[in-house]
Amino acid sequence: MAPTVEIALQTKATKAHVDAAATRILAALAERTATGGADNAPRRSGFLASTVGHIPPGGQPVAARSELRAGSQKVSAQVPAPGPGHALVYAAASYALAVELRSPFLIAAAIAALGQIDAILARERL
């Protein structure tokens, strides 16, 4: 029989500590994914990379924006706030999905961020 580990959260303080650690882990994964996505985003005008970001758990929504770049109007979408226990990584440029499907930059960044999970957990002493 395989060994098992059972964790019993006996106090509200323990649960709060575990919840806070989970929130920090999600935020770190989202931040690393967004950083990698922005670094890896294909660049023509730089607008796509400028719309890559993250919202940590409990974060605020991001407003839509529009700007003129390389002689054309570029538009980004509004990004809603994540729900409790969630973080968001986004590329808000209106054409981001088409670029991601052609040349994945966010998925590659998410895989790379997950490859750093041991370091993130070690920082949390987990």
Q: What is the pLDDT of residue 9?
A: 62
Q: What is the pLDDT of residue 15?
A: 78
**Residues 96, 28 contacting (CB under 8 angstroms):** no
Q: What is the average per-residue pLDDT within 14-32?
A: 89
**Residues 9, 18 contacting (CB under 8 angstroms):** yes
Give 3's Cβ-side CA count (13 Å radius).
Answer: 1
Residue type, 54: H
pLDDT at 10 over 80: no
Q: What phi, psi does 40 have (nearest 5°)?
A: -95, -10
Please report where in the chains the tokens 């929504």 appear, as a residue. Answer: 61
How far is 19 from 29, CA to CA, in rounded Å?
A: 15
Q: What is the pLDDT of residue 13?
A: 73
Chain length of the chain: 126
pLDDT at 11 over 80: no
Q: Which of 18, 15, 95 is nearest to 52 (CA)?
A: 95
Mean pLDDT of the chain: 88
Give 11's Cβ-side CA count (13 Å radius).
Answer: 3
pLDDT at 7 over 80: no
How far is 49 from 120, CA to CA, in rounded Å?
A: 25
